[in-house]
Amino acid sequence: MKGFTLIEILITMAILVILAVFGSVNLLNYYSRQGLRVSVNNIIMMLQEARTDSQQGADGNGDGQSDQWGIRLENITSSAVKIFYNTTSTVNRVYNLEAGVQFIDPSAGQAKEIIFSKITGYPDTTTSVIVALKNNPTASSTISVDALGRVTQIGL
C-alpha cells in the first residue's frame, strides 16, 4: 500500500505549525528591536543636531540673531522628542518614538530638557535617557549626554 497515513500527515502539520509560530515570534521580536534602534538613533541625531545648531548660532526664528538650542524629551501624553530654540515654546522639530517603544526615563508624566550653550555646545546639565520596548522593558538602551555635550549609547 502506497501513500501517507493520517497520523503521518497530522505529525507533519503539527511540526510545520510549531515552526511557523517560532518563526513569527522571532520576526516580531526582530521588528520590535529595529523600532527601538531607529528611535535611539533618531534621539541621538536630534541631540547632536541641537548641539550643532547652538554651536553654529543657527537662527531659528529668522530675526538675524543666533539662537540657543535645546531638546525636550517628553513622556507626557505621547513619547516625543522636540528640538527648540530660545524657549521650549518655539519648537522647531518633533519626533515621536516608534510604535512599541517608550521612555523609561523620563518616567510617565515627566519631561527632560537639555539646553546647549552658544559657541561651546556644552549642555546646561548632564543627563541620561532610557528608551525601551513596551512589551519587553528589559530590551532597552541608555543615551547619556556628558558635560562636554558628547552623546553616548549603552545597550542594544
pLDDT digits (tens, 9 = 90+) for 121-137: 899 989 999 999 988 88
| Domain boundaries, given as residue ranges, for the chain | 6-154
Q: For the domain made up of 6-154, give the CATH fold.
A: minor pseudopilin epsh fold (3.55.40)
Is the CB of residue 135 less than 8 Å from the CB of residue 156? no
Beta pairing class for 91-96 and 101-105: unpaired
User: Which pLDDT band holds residue 68 (cuts at 50, 70, 90)?
Assistant: confident
User: Which pLDDT band holds residue 1 (cuts at 50, 70, 90)?
Assistant: low
Which residue's C-alpha cell is 520576526?
27
The answer, yes or no, to whether residue 60 has pLDDT greater than 80, is no
Maximum C-alpha span of the chain: 90
> What local confidence, expressed as pLDDT, does residue 151 receive?
92
Transcribe 87-153 into DSSP letters.
STTSEEEEEEPPTTEEEEESPTTEEEEEEBPTTT--BSS-EEEEEEESS-TTSEEEEEE-TT--EEE
> What local confidence, expressed as pLDDT, does residue 148 receive?
92
Distance between CA atoms of 141 and 29, rounded to whole angstroms? Answer: 16
pLDDT in tens, 12-31: 999 999 999 999 888 888 88
> What local confidence, expressed as pLDDT, does residue 88 receive?
64
